[in-house]
């Protein structure tokens, strides 16, 4: 059995947002607008064109962007995926039909983690009761990156 990762850290900053109407989408977009090197995202539900636009803009600035989506959900958001892929963003799907890739996180420049129950959807931003945390911690980002890289290798 795998153990949970434990570490002690003081975060540089922590931002907390609650939806609906908490402006969580803007926090995600602002984080992506500040990216200089890389963005890795594992997202279950992704229908926000505003967030997709922020990822495309980051890629056009030279940021390496990788996205993992749940295989079942990913097949339903073809316009978003097409937009990402046409702009040089790598997209993989969890094709494990027995399980759901239900993560909701992004790692920005190996130093910032965006996570919580918040899906990247209009419903999350406008109607649903969801939460979002933005945590600045290189150590936490490293742990999330390990998980992302494991999935990236597995789903490739």
Q: For 74-85, what is each residue's pLDDT tens digit?
A: 667 688 888 999
Residues 138, 9: Cα–Cα separation, whole Å: 9
Q: pLDDT-derived band of residue 139, with 50, 70 and 90 as boundaries?
A: very high
Starting at the edge strand found earlier in the chain, the sheet holding 64-70 runs 14-19, 130-136, 112-115, 104-108, 38-43, 64-70, 90-94
Mean pLDDT of 17-32: 94
Which of 27-31, 45-49, 58-62 shows the lowest per-residue confidence on average (mean pLDDT)? 45-49
Q: Would strands 38-43 and 64-70 be described as parallel, antiparallel, or unpaired?
A: parallel
Choose, from 83, 109, 110, 122, the residue flagged as catalytic: 109
Choose, from 40, 70, 94, 104, the residue flagged as catalytic: 104
> Would the pLDDT of 156 be above 80?
yes
Choose, from 53, 57, 83, 102, the residue flagged as catalytic: 102
Adjacent-strand bridge partners of 39: 65, 108
Q: Which of 50, 89, 100, 52 is nearest to 67 (CA)?
A: 89
Burial of 145 from C-beta contacts in 10 A (0-12 / 13-18 / 19+) = middle
109 is catalytic: yes
110 is catalytic: no
> Would the pLDDT of 108 be above 70?
yes
How is the chain split among helix, strand and coil, in percent rounded to 5?
Answer: 35, 25, 35
149 is catalytic: no
């Amino acid at each position: 059995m795998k153990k949970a990762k434990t570490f002690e850290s003081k975060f540089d900053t922590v931002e907390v947002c609650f939806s609906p109407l908490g402006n969580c989408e803007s926090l995600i977009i602002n984080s992506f607008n500040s990216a200089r090197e890389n963005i890795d995202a594992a997202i279950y539900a992704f229908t926000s064109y505003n967030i997709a636009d922020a990822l495309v803009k980051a890629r056009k600035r030279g940021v390496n962007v990788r996205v993992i989506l749940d295989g079942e959900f990913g097949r339903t958001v073809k316009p978003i995926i097409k937009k990402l892929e046409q702009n040089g963003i790598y997209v993989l799907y969890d094709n494990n039909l027995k399980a759901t890739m239900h993560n909701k996180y992004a790692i920005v420049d190996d130093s910032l983690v965006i996570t919580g129950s918040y899906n990247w959807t209009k419903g999350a931003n406008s109607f649903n009761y969801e939460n979002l945390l933005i945590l600045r911690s290189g150590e936490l980002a490293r742990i999330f990156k390990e998980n992302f890289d494991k999935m990236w290798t597995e789903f490739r």
